[in-house]
Amino acid sequence: MNQFYIVLFMLFSSTGAFAQWETVYFPFTDTLPAVLSISFSSPKKGIAACLTSKSFRYNRYKGSLITTQDSGITWITSLEVDSFSFEKVIHVDSTIAIAIGSHRNINWNIYNEGVIARTVDEGLTWDTTFFPYHIDYIEKANDSVIFAIGIEYFSSGSSNTKLLKSNDIGMTWNSIPFNDSSEIVYDIDFISDSIGFLVGQNGKIFKTINQGISWNMILVDPTRTISILNMDIPNSSSIYILSYGTLFSMLLYHSTDSGGTWNLISDSIVSFGASEVEFANDSVGYIPEKFNIKKTVDGGETWINQRSGPPSSGDFFDDMTDVFTFDEDRVYAAGFGQLYRTFNGGDTVIITSVTQENSLLKGLKVYPNPTFGRLLIENKSNQSLSFHLYTLLGREVPISAPLNVTERKFEFDISDLPQGIYLLQAIGEARESATIKIVKE
């Protein structure tokens, strides 16, 4: 007789619950592999921008772009450039991606050389364009227009910001005027084809309403000395910025009127060393920081730690450098040498054995069980259902969408999964859930 389970989902809190992230190790043999940026075009296909120190002897880095076809389980190096660090990668669409990087040495010394790499086949091949200055950030305004930020450094210690624009999906690039070029800019993002923002040092934001032809300055917080590190735009009116304050503090600001006014959410939520703020939607967001990832489910008003223990002894064993949200549940996080992923937003899963069936469970029939791969589900509950599959340790296993055999009969193919015991969870319209033990032979 099959044993039944109920899977209960809880938000991570400070009461000692354990957030659910899986660590995926990269197949590097280098002394210092660092994953600086990740981007996925689908739940399975992704690209990571990395730097590796293969050449300590020659005081040089090697920049790498690596690709995955299986949700981050395995990775293949698709491009390497000596003496460079790849620091950001974005997808323009399902096959076109663009990555940027700069010339570095082992002491992180700066050279006036940058590179933009472009692929049209999901990372199988790349075209590269080199520039006589750093390329520090890249973002798209739409599926054709791409902006990049460059910085030229001088021996006097001063610098000059270069603003690059491509109108042909990154094939060619033109420098466009930026009146405040003495300002160091760290990030660029767009609300629409025409309206975008630049952020950087001295607490300034520059806004364009004509796709970069002109920029107007906005001062975020006249009462503080801040340096804006990162920006994220969940919708056309809501903007978040993460900035450095004074005395090793990090500040999180929010605007609800497209950057017209700004409110300081907190000067103590974020740890020093946080790298960015990233929202999956209006409510759910993440902040990667040292040995931890923070999550909000209320639009940034409150944040919860997804680390289950003290620094370096919990879930995240290094500095977190980037977070990519495919949606609020499927999230990838990068660090120095490792990739982390979750398929339920990092929320806690507690599996409790029960003997009494609930109403949803009574309406389900799952067979054959055990199975060699083909799994049929009959739904007699008169509810629309969503399905999730877990290991006994509570880790969600990606599965393809079921085939509709009939209106109330579904078929899953789990033939690619290893032999073992899995938990198939069905969630009804009223969020009632039922989970059945599945034996894969």
Class of CATH domain 4-9+349-440 = mainly beta
Give the model's pLDDT for residue 111: 72
Tokens 């992180």: give the residue. Answer: 108
Burial profile 33-69: b = 16 or more Cβ within 10 angstroms, e = fewer: bbbbbbbbbeeebbbbbbbbbbbeeeebbbbbbbbbe
Q: Retrieve residue 387's tokens.
A: 């399905």
**Mean pLDDT computed over 207-219:** 93
Backbone angles phi, psi at 223, to 5 degrees: -85, -10
Give the model's pLDDT for residue 21: 77
Least confident of 50-59, 313-322, 325-334: 50-59
Least confident of 59-63, 176-180, 425-429: 59-63
- Amino acid present at 364: L
**Is the per-residue pLDDT at 413 higher than 50?**
yes
**Is the per-residue pLDDT at 16 higher than 70?**
no
Give the model's pLDDT for residue 239: 95
The sign of the torsion formed by the CA atoms of 199, 200, 204, 206 equals: negative
Give the model's pLDDT for residue 391: 79
Give the model's pLDDT for residue 337: 66
Backbone angles phi, psi at 202, to 5 degrees: 65, 20
Least confident of 80-89, 181-190, 358-367, 380-389: 358-367
| DSSP string for 336-400 | SSEEEEESSTT-EEEEEE-SS--HHHHTEEEESSSBSSEEEEEE-SSS--EEEEEETTS-EE--P
- Amino acid present at 140: K
**Mean pLDDT computed over 349-362:** 48
Contact 340, 22 (CB under 8 A): yes
pLDDT tens column, 214-260: 999 988 888 887 889 899 999 989 999 999 877 677 889 999 999 99
**Strand stretches in 167-308, DSSP E:** 174-176, 185-190, 196-200, 204-208, 216-219, 227-232, 239-244, 250-255, 263-266, 278-279, 285-289, 292-296, 304-305
Q: How many helices (H) and strands (E) does the chain have?
A: 1, 38
Give the model's pLDDT for residue 323: 93
29 C-beta neighbours (distance < 10 Å), count? 7
Whole-Å CA distances, 336 to 30, 236, 277, 316:
12, 33, 18, 10
Q: Retrieve residue 209's tokens.
A: 């309403």
Of 394 and 227, more confident: 227
**Mean pLDDT computed over 407-423:** 82
**Is the per-residue pLDDT at 309 higher than 80?**
no
**Is the per-residue pLDDT at 349 higher than 70?**
no
**Is the per-residue pLDDT at 174 higher than 90?**
yes
Average pLDDT, rounded, for the chain: 80
Give this prediction's pTM.
0.74
Give the whole-number percent of the chain exceeding pLDDT 70: 80
**Is the per-residue pLDDT at 6 higher than 90?**
no
Least confident of 11-20, 65-74, 104-113, 217-226: 11-20
Confidence of residue 212 (pLDDT cuts 50, 70, 90): very high
Whether CATH 2.130.10.10 fits 14-347: yes
Of 299 and 61, more confident: 299
Least confident of 167-171, 177-181, 381-385: 381-385
Confidence of residue 366 (pLDDT cuts 50, 70, 90): confident
Least confident of 194-203, 225-234, 289-298, 394-403: 394-403
Of 387 and 135, more confident: 135
Contact 201, 183 (CB under 8 A): yes
Strand order across the beta sheet in which 320-325 lies: 22-25, 338-342, 331-335, 320-325
Confidence of residue 272 (pLDDT cuts 50, 70, 90): confident
Q: How far apart are CA 390 and CA 262, in angstroms?
A: 42
Q: Which residues pair with 345 in a beta bridge?
A: none
Give the model's pLDDT for residue 313: 47
Confidence of residue 373 (pLDDT cuts 50, 70, 90): confident
**Is the per-residue pLDDT at 371 higher than 70?**
yes
Give the model's pLDDT for residue 354: 34
**Is the per-residue pLDDT at 33 higher than 90?**
no
Of 420 and 337, more confident: 420
Q: How far apart are CA 372 and CA 414, in angstroms?
A: 8
pLDDT tens column, 35-72: 889 999 988 899 999 887 654 444 557 889 999 988 88
Boundaries of every domain in the chain: 4-9+349-440, 14-347
**Is the per-residue pLDDT at 183 higher than 80?**
yes
- Give 105's DSSP letter: B
Confidence of residue 368 (pLDDT cuts 50, 70, 90): confident
